[in-house]
Chain A
Amino acid sequence: MKSLQEFESFYNQSLFREMEALDERRKKVLKRLLSIIIGTGGSMLLSVLAAIYLVSPEKDQHFIMVFVAPVVIFLLGVLAWSVWGRDKNFVADFKRQLIERIIHFISPDLTYQPYNFIGIDTFEQSRLFLTKIDRYNGDDYVFGQIDKTQFWFSEIKTEYKTTTSKGQTQWHTIFKGLFFVADFNKHFEGCTVVLPNRLGRGAIARILQKVNLSRREKLVKLEDPEFNKYFVVYGDDQIESRYVLSTSLMQRLIDFRRKHGNPLYVSFVSSFLFLAIGYTKDLFEPSYFRTLTKFESVKPYFEDISLAVGIVEDLNLNTRIWTKQ
Chain B
Amino acid sequence: MKVILIALGVLILFTIIAYNRFIMLRNMANKAFSTIDVMAKKRYDLIPNLVATVQKYMEHERGTLVEVTELRARAMQGNLTPDERVNLENQITRTLGNIQVAVERYPELKATENFQQLQGALNEVEEQLSAARRAYNAAVIDYNNAVQMFPSNVFALVFNFKSRALLETPEIERQNVDVKKLFSN
Closest to B181 in A: A319
Also in contact, A223 and B137, with CB within 8 A (given A319-B180, A323-B124)? yes
Residues of A within 8 A of B124 (CB): 186-187, 322-323
Residues of B23-64 contacting chain A, CB below 8 A: 28, 32, 35
The answer on a CB contact under 8 Å between A248 and B176 is yes
B152-178 near A? 1/0 per residue, CB < 8 Å: 000000000000000000000000110
Residues of B within 8 A of A318 (CB): 184
22 A-B pairs with CB atoms under 8 Å apart are A186-B127, A187-B124, A221-B138, A223-B137, A223-B138, A238-B32, A242-B131, A242-B132, A243-B131, A246-B127, A247-B130, A247-B176, A248-B177, A319-B184, A320-B185, A321-B119, A321-B180, A321-B183, A321-B184, A322-B120, A323-B124, A325-B120
A239 touches which of B32, B121, B176 (Cβ 8 Å): B32
The answer on a CB contact under 8 Å between A323 and B35 is no
The answer on a CB contact under 8 Å between A239 and B127 is no
- Interface: B123 (CB within 8 A): yes
The 7 A-B residue pairs with the shortest CB-CB distance, nearest first, are A242-B131, A243-B131, A323-B120, A322-B124, A239-B135, A321-B123, A238-B135
Complex CA gap A242/B35 in Å reads 13
Residues of A within 8 A of B176 (CB): 246-248
The answer on a CB contact under 8 Å between B127 and A243 is yes
Complex CA gap A244/B69 in Å reads 30
Nearest-neighbour CB distance to chain B for A310, whole angstroms, equals 17
Residues of A within 8 A of B138 (CB): 221-223, 238
A298-325 near B? 1/0 per residue, CB < 8 Å: 0000000000000000000011111111
The answer on a CB contact under 8 Å between B119 and A243 is no
Closest to B132 in A: A239
A-B contacts counted at CB < 8 A amount to 60
- Interface: B15 (CB within 8 A): no
Complex CA gap A324/B135 in Å reads 23
Interface residues of A toward B: which range?
20 to 34
User: What secondary structure prevails in chain B residues at the interface with A?
Assistant: helix
- Tell which of B120, B137, B139 has the most Cβ of chain A within 10 Å: B120
Complex CA gap A247/B131 in Å reads 9
- Interface: B112 (CB within 8 A): no
**Hey, which bits of chain A sit against chain B, CB under 8 A?**
186-187, 221-223, 238-240, 242-243, 246-248, 318-325
The answer on a CB contact under 8 Å between B127 and A322 is yes
B120 touches which of A221, A243, A246, A321 (Cβ 8 Å): A321
The answer on a CB contact under 8 Å between A248 and B135 is no
Residues of B within 8 A of A319 (CB): 180, 184
Also in contact, A242 and B120, with CB within 8 A (given A321-B180, A321-B184)? no
The answer on a CB contact under 8 Å between A322 and B130 is no
Closest to B182 in A: A321
Residues of B within 8 A of A240 (CB): 131
